[in-house]
Amino acid sequence: MFESKSGVLLIGGVGFFVIAFLSNALVPALMYRHLPEATVTELVERNSNLKYQFEDLSHRYPEQFAKYYGEPTQENCAEALRLGRQTYVNEGCWHCHSQFIRPVSREEDRWGPVSKTEEYQNELQRPVMFGTRRVGPDLCREGGRHGNDWHAAHFFKPQLVSHHSPMPEYPWLFDGSPNEPNRRGLALITYIQWLGSWLESYPYYEEWEPISAKPAP
């Protein structure tokens, strides 16, 4: 059995793989089967924070917004969210930014509430954007922490607003200047502003106390 073709193929090859798949992939899928998976339209409908940010984009960049999205309607916001997520994936943002808060390493203090399963049950987490690396900060509570114009400048040339940032610049998300985000640029800003916008704590600001201000022990 241990050195035969059928043993290796059926037990080792197929059998052990299936055991692992059932226990590690099917179990969580079954556990969460009662949690509904929200569509993008549903995400937009119940979210006034996101609506505010999307309308703010239309006021702040009226010509660009009218050219690429027309009116700040719910349908257009859903379209921008989808394209924003696609841009986030295609540009590899998720390789330097994670989207989950752990209950350790004082992440709650820095980023806000620990991530919960329900937050990920939606169309925009397909495939899920947990991420595995943080060159830059975690983004799942980023929505609302910075204004839309900050994000525009930051995507155009990160060093304009964050001096030592090693983040690459993305001028192709603009029509020439940081004041002119194009379809993808507006979409990516919308997507980033959506992150965490569903939470009570939105927008989350950490209570940061410089180390030097603390009394010496």
Q: Does 130 bind another protein (CB under 8 A)?
A: yes
Nearer residue to another protein within complex by CB, 52 or 198: 198
Nearer residue to another protein within complex by CB, 46 or 59: 46
Q: How far apart are CA 183 and CA 190, in angstroms?
A: 11
Cα dihedral 199→40→46→37 (10° resolution): -70
What 3-state DSSP class applies to 38? strand
- List the one residue from 66, 70, 71, 102 that touches another protein (CB under 8 A): 102
- Stretch of residues binding another protein (CB under 8 A), selected from 49-57, 69-77, 143-151, 155-163: 155-163
Q: Vertex 188, ends 186 and 192: CA angle to 5°?
A: 120
Do 101 and 116 form a contact (C-beta atoms < 8 A)?
A: no
- Stretch of residues binding another protein (CB under 8 A), selected from 30-38, 43-51, 139-147, 196-204: 30-38
Q: How far apart are CA 201 and CA 21, in angstroms?
A: 37
Nearer residue to another protein within complex by CB, 41 or 59: 41
Q: Does 70 bind another protein (CB under 8 A)?
A: no
- List the one residue from 46, 70, 71, 134 that touches another protein (CB under 8 A): 134
Closest listed residue to residue 183, CA positions, set 99, 59, 73, 82: 82
Q: Does 87 bind another protein (CB under 8 A)?
A: yes
Q: How far apart are CA 143 and CA 61, in angstroms?
A: 19
Q: Does 133 bind another protein (CB under 8 A)?
A: yes
Q: Which of residues 177-206 bind another protein (CB under 8 A)?
A: 182-184, 206
